[in-house]
Amino acid sequence: MGLSLPTRSGLPESGQTAEASRPLSLTILGATGSIGASTLSLVAADPAAFDIVALTANDNAEDLAAHAIKYRAQLAVVANPERYRELKAALAGTGIEAAAGEAAIIDAANRPADCVMAAIMGAAGLRASLSALRRGARLALANKECLVCAGDVFMREVERCEGQLLPVDSEHSAIFQALEGQDRAGLERVTVTASGGPFRTWSKDEIEAATLDDALNHPNWSMGRKITIDSATMMNKGLELIEARFLFDLAPEQLDVVVHPQSIIHSMVSYTDGSVIAQLGMPDMRTPIAYALSWPRRMKSDVARLDLAQLRELTFEAPDEAKFPALRLAREAMTTGGGAPAVLNAANEIAVGRFLEGRMRFADIARTVETTLDRASAEGLTGAADDLDAVLAIDHAARDLACHVIG
Ligand code: NAD
Ligand code: MG
């Protein structure tokens, strides 16, 4: 595409521009989810600008087929092989290929497309996302668990190969934008903003008794169920610190969190001369998604425009790690490094899954993660993980350990 490559520091090389004339060929991994829907809504707003190559889903074959037909995809892949017949039948006569299984999702990521939107939830997206990066695609990364579990592996690949890694997470898109064109040597700190989630003003005892409906009731963002629970525990912010650490090559001490309940400032970068550069916008994922797709240019999006006079106030407060222990655990795992973030993530995925099934209390999510991390450390599971297979082995072992901890 002739686009420049963001360096490990997140700063693009200068002086190169995108071809303006050709549609962007795009694959969406996780097309039936919240990020998938926001991405497809940008495509629907300007269909001539995109050429959809492949769409994938976990097991919702019906929605996947409908999207594949509407957006004229070449290929639709469902991860669950039991849903293959349904997908095949729904696509009969359309000329759209159907496939199923994890290997077929990786094949979809490997099929030539300028850009791959990585919007699978959890560590399940690791292999396909890395494959897309390796073959030289632009990887628009929403699937933050990739960098949490395998940050070194992904960033090494960015340096080694032709692929690009562009952040989709709103905070990381903000940091990326606040770093562009700046003197990296003058960077002092990065402050990641957090909404505080639905329990920001709740007491520790009230949080202890929180129900699933309480936890799913996010004040600002409409997202998939797993990340919504991560926002309620504030594990999401912890995962984002780890994501930022790898994406922008920062030391753990350079990263702060500030709670900003309005979610208007998406994050900020402080420089040695006292300047702070922030990125603002309404809380709508279509803005960071648009930037990851069109960078270094800007595309049009009909998101609501920011009206500060109407909003009147932006407020800030320090995060409370006693009320939200998941944030502390993530910070500790970031500092420990090695396999610790992958263990943290695996235990969290298991615990959040149980909570979503109504089989765990809210406050036990962080307790499960903490105990799993302690045991994993005692068993030597948090050592270095040099390649994806080693990361996935830690992920699997930590999942088993977390299930054992839960009992
Ligand atoms: P979601 O649950 O709404 O969608 C997840 C998508 O992944 C679906 O298409 C689902 O079918 C697919 N999927 C799930 N498990 C799979 C598996 N095992 N194999 C293959 N496909 C699978 O989630 P989401 O909210 O869209 O989030 C996706 C990713 O983006 C997550 O990593 C999340 O942390 C990140 N993210 C989301 C938002 C947001 O606003 N929703 C913001 C920032 C980052
Ligand atoms: Mg975010």
CA distance 345 to 235: 9
Backbone angles phi, psi at 98, to 5 degrees: -120, 145
* DSSP string for residues in 231-262: HHHTHHHHHHHHHHHHHTT--GGGEEEEE-TT
Q: Which atom of ligand 1 is nearest to the CA of 31?
A: 9
- Could you give the 3-state DSSP secondary structure of residue 359? coil
Predicted confidence at residue 132, as pLDDT, reads: 97
- The type of residue at 2 is G
Residues enclosing ligand 1, CB less than 6 A?
A: 30-36, 57-58, 60, 79, 105, 119-121, 124, 142-145, 169, 221, 223-224, 226-227, 285
Per residue, what are the HEC states of 353-370? HHHHCCCCCCHHHHHHHH
Nearest to 257 by CA among 330, 156, 344: 330
φ, ψ dihedrals at 211, nearest 5°:
-95, 175
* pLDDT tens over the chain, length 407 residues: 323 334 433 334 433 334 557 999 999 999 999 999 999 999 999 999 999 999 999 999 999 999 999 999 999 999 999 999 999 999 999 999 999 999 999 999 999 999 999 999 999 999 999 999 999 999 999 999 999 999 999 999 999 998 899 999 999 999 999 999 999 999 999 999 999 999 999 999 999 999 999 999 988 888 999 999 999 999 999 999 999 999 999 999 999 999 999 999 999 999 999 999 999 999 999 999 999 999 999 999 999 999 999 999 999 999 999 999 999 999 999 999 999 999 999 999 999 999 999 999 999 999 999 999 999 999 999 988 899 999 999 999 999 999 999 99
Q: Which helix (H) or strand (E) holds 223?
A: none
Q: How far apart are CA 77 and CA 54, in angstroms?
A: 8
Q: What is the largest CA-CA distance in the chain?
A: 63
Query: Residue 142 CA: which ligand 1 atom is closest?
Result: 30
**Contact between 295 and 36 (Cβ < 8 Å):** no
The answer to whether 382 touches 336, Cβ cutoff 8 Å, is yes
Exposure on the CB side of residue 288, measured as CA atoms within 13 A = 27
- Report helix, strand or coil for 26: strand
- For a substitution probing ligand 1, which of 27, 28, 34, 102 has the most ligand atoms within 8 Å of its CB? 34
Q: What is the pLDDT of residue 2?
A: 28
CA of 395 to the centre of ligand 2 (A): 22
For atom 18 of ligand 1, the residue with the nearest CA is 124
Cα 251 to averaged position of ligand 2 atoms, centre (Å): 20
- The protein residue whose alpha carbon is closest to atom 21 in ligand 1 is 58
Is-contact 303 281, C-beta < 8 A? yes
Closest CA to 118 of 74, 176, 165: 165
Burial bucket for residue 291 (CB in 10 Å: 0-12, 13-18, 19+):
buried
Cα of 173 from ligand 2 centre, angstroms: 9
Cα 357–chain centre separation: 22
**What pLDDT score was predicted for residue 274?**
98
Instruction: Spell out the residues 6+ positions from residue 64 whose beta carbon is closer than 8 angstroms to its own.
Output: 31, 32, 55, 56, 57, 76, 78, 87
Ligand 1 pocket mutation pick from 120, 154, 286 by most atoms within 8 angstroms of CB: 120
When computed from its CA atoms, the radius of gyration of the chain, rounded to whole angstroms, is 20
Ligand closest to CA 147:
1
Q: Using the mean position of ligand 1's atoms as its centre, give its distance from the Cα of residue 121 in Å.
A: 3
Residue 90 is which amino acid? Answer: A
Mutating to test ligand 1, I would choose from 64, 78, 121 the residue with most ligand atoms within 8 A of its C-beta, which is 121
Distance 183 CA to ligand 1 centre (A): 34
Decide: helix, strand or coil at residue 53: strand
**Vertex 354 angle, CA 30 and 381, to 5°:** 85
User: Strand, coil or helix: what is 21?
Assistant: coil
Does an H or E element contain 286, and which? Answer: helix 286-294
Backbone dihedral angles phi then psi of residue 188, each to the nearest 5 degrees: -110, -55
Rounded distance from Cα 222 to ligand 1 centre (Å)? 12
Compute, in angstroms, the gap from residue 384 CA to the centroid of ligand 2.
Answer: 26
**For ligand 1, what atom is nearest to the CA of residue 227?**
34
The one-letter amino acid at 72 = R
| Protein residue with its CA nearest to atom 20 in ligand 1 | 58
CA of 171 to the centre of ligand 2 (A): 5
